[in-house]
Amino acid sequence: MEIPLILRQKKDGSFSYAMPTAFRIVMAIIFVMLIIAGFMDGKSPGVGGWIAIAIAALAALYEESWAFIAKAGELRHRAGIFPLTRRTTIFSGSIVRFRIEPFVRGTVPGSADETEEKAAALAGGRADDSGKKRERYKKPYLCLVCETKVGERYFINAADARKGEKLKTQAALMARACGVSLVEDSVCI
């Protein structure tokens, strides 16, 4: 299951790109329902019940977010189980660009087929769209990556190539807020 990240912009130029609040609410409801169901018969849940409760609790506490703080000039990433999230801070002066890169699962790296599939993914489709036979094992994605001056690359998000326009729009807004460019290409550095 894929949980799409939601972009929220603020008036001061800051933004947050994070999991939707509805996800946490739904997971909290599932957690409560599992606890109620586990104790309905007056006994404590078995091993399987405790495992399901623990998984639901961890899912409700999971966090994945990117935030640009305009006043501080920082891009902050948080990922992990709250409160033990891993935090990364990237100063806006060290960000070179945001990049949209195609990735096609099921192709051989460096092959002509991969080049053709990546070009089609950037255009929002598949290389076999015009043909009758579809190669089902190939799955095109667009990846949003943040690049820094020291050569570090941070993977931010990925989307199905057919739904890539939303990712491109969000990437353009984030790049504008950080004061850098957005590049779309099939060359992976």
- How many domains is the chain built from? 2
Domain boundary residue, one of 92, 108, 136: 92
Whether residue 64 sits in one domain with residue 117: no
pLDDT tens, residue by residue, 103-141: 877 776 777 766 777 777 676 666 555 556 666 677 888
Q: In a 3-state reduction of DSSP, which class is residue 35?
A: helix
Burial string for 98-108 (b: 16+ CB within 10 Å, else e) reads bbbbbbbeebe
Q: Is the pLDDT of residue 15 over 60?
A: yes
Distance, in Å, from the CA atom of 99 to the CA atom of 145, rounded to the nearest integer, reads 5
Q: Percent of the chain, pLDDT > 90?
A: 11
**pLDDT, tens only, 78-93:** 999 988 889 988 888 8
Inform me whether the pLDDT recorded for 29 exceeds 90. Answer: yes
| Secondary structure of residue 106 in the 3-state scheme | coil
Q: Looking at the predicted structure, is the pLDDT value of residue 54 above 60?
A: yes
pLDDT of residue 133: 64
| Long-range Cβ contacts of 110-116 (<8 Å, 24+ apart) | 115/186
* 101 in the same domain as 85: no
17 and 64 in one domain? yes
Task: Give the domain-ending residue among 71, 92, 113.
Answer: 92
Pairwise CA distance, residues 142 & 159, whole Å? 5
Residue 106 lies in a domain: yes
Q: Are 41 and 111 in the same domain?
A: no
Do 45 and 101 fall into the same domain? no
Residues spanned by the domain of 51: 6-92
Q: Are residues 140 and 164 in the same domain?
A: yes
Cβ atoms 128, 73 nearer than 8 A: no
134: burial class by Cβ within 10 Å (0-12, 13-18, 19+)? exposed
Is 22 part of a structural domain of the chain? yes
